[in-house]
Amino acid sequence: MRHLLAVDLGGTNLRVALADDAGTVHHEVRVPTMPAAGPTVVIDTIVGCLAEARDAAPRGAAIAGIGIGSPGPLDPFNGVIFNMPNLPGWERVPLRALLEERTGLSVELGNDANAAALGEWFFGAGRGRRHLVYVTISTGIGGGVICDGRLLLGHHGAAAEVGHHLIDATTRQSWEDLAAGPALGRAASAALAAHPTSLLQRYARDGRVSAEDVSRAAADGDALAQQLMDREGELIGIGLVNMLNLYSPELIVLGGGVALNNPGLLERARTVIAERAFEVYRSVPLVLAALGDRAGILGAVALFIHMREQRP
Strand order in the sheet with 63-70: 25-32, 13-20, 3-9, 63-70, 107-111
Q: Mean pLDDT for the chain?
A: 95
3-9: average pLDDT: 97
Q: What pLDDT sits at residue 312? A: 60
**Cα separations (Å) of 174 from 116, 233, 250, 256?**
22, 16, 25, 18
As a whole number of angstroms, the distance between CA 251 and CA 134 comes to 9
- Residue 74 φ/ψ, nearest 5 degrees: -150, 165
**pLDDT of amino acid 60:** 84
Determine the Cα–Cα distance for residues 170 and 147; give it in Å rounded to an integer. 32
Mean pLDDT across the stretch 139-166? 94
Q: Is 214:249 a contact under the CB 8 Å cutoff?
A: no
Q: Determine whether 302 is exposed, middle or buried from the number of CB atoms within 10 Å of its CB (0-12, 13-18, 19+).
A: buried
Q: Which of 40-49, 76-85, 103-112, 242-251 has the lowest mean pLDDT?
A: 76-85
Instruction: Specify the pLDDT at position 72.
Output: 83
Confidence of residue 85 (pLDDT cuts 50, 70, 90): confident
Q: What digits encode the pLDDT tens for the residues 200-250?
A: 999 999 999 999 999 999 999 999 999 999 999 999 999 999 999 999 999
pLDDT band at 84 (very low <50, low <70, confident <90, very high): confident
pLDDT at res. 31: 97
pLDDT for position 83? 87
Q: Where in the chain is the domain with CATH 3.30.420.40?
A: 3-111, 125-290
Angle between helices 211-219 and 223-247 (to 10 degrees): 120
Fold of 3-111: Nucleotidyltransferase; domain 5 (3.30.420)
Contact of 286 with 267, CB cutoff 8 Å: no
Per-residue model confidence (pLDDT) at position 229: 98
Q: Taking 80 as the threshold, does the pLDDT of residue 311 lie above it?
A: no
d(CA 37, CA 27): 26
Contacts 24+ apart (CB under 8 A), 48-55: 49/7, 49/14, 49/16, 50/5, 50/7, 50/16, 50/99, 50/103, 52/16, 52/27, 53/5, 53/16, 53/17, 53/18, 53/27, 53/28, 53/29, 54/5, 54/18
User: Strands 63-70 and 80-81, how do they pair?
Assistant: unpaired
pLDDT score of 163: 94
Q: Express each pLDDT in 172-187 by its tens digit.
A: 999 999 999 999 999 9
Whole-number pLDDT of residue 250: 97
* Mean pLDDT across 136-162: 94
Residue 165 has pLDDT above 80, yes or no: yes
Does the pLDDT at position 156 exceed 90?
no
Tens of pLDDT, residue by residue over 7-54, are 999 988 999 999 999 999 999 999 999 999 999 999 999 999 999 999
Measure the CA–CA gap between 220 and 297, rounded to whole angstroms. Answer: 35
For the domain covering 125-290, report its CATH number: 3.30.420.40
**Could you check whether the bond before residue 73 is cis, i.e. omega within 30 degrees of 0?**
yes
CA 191 from chain centre, in angstroms, equals: 29
Percent with pLDDT over 90 in the chain:
91
pLDDT at residue 9 in the model: 96
Residue 10 CB contacts under 8 Å (≥ 6 apart), including other chains: 33, 71, 112, 296
Strand partners, 47: none
The confidence band for 1, taking pLDDT boundaries of 50, 70 and 90, is confident
| pLDDT score, position 200 | 97
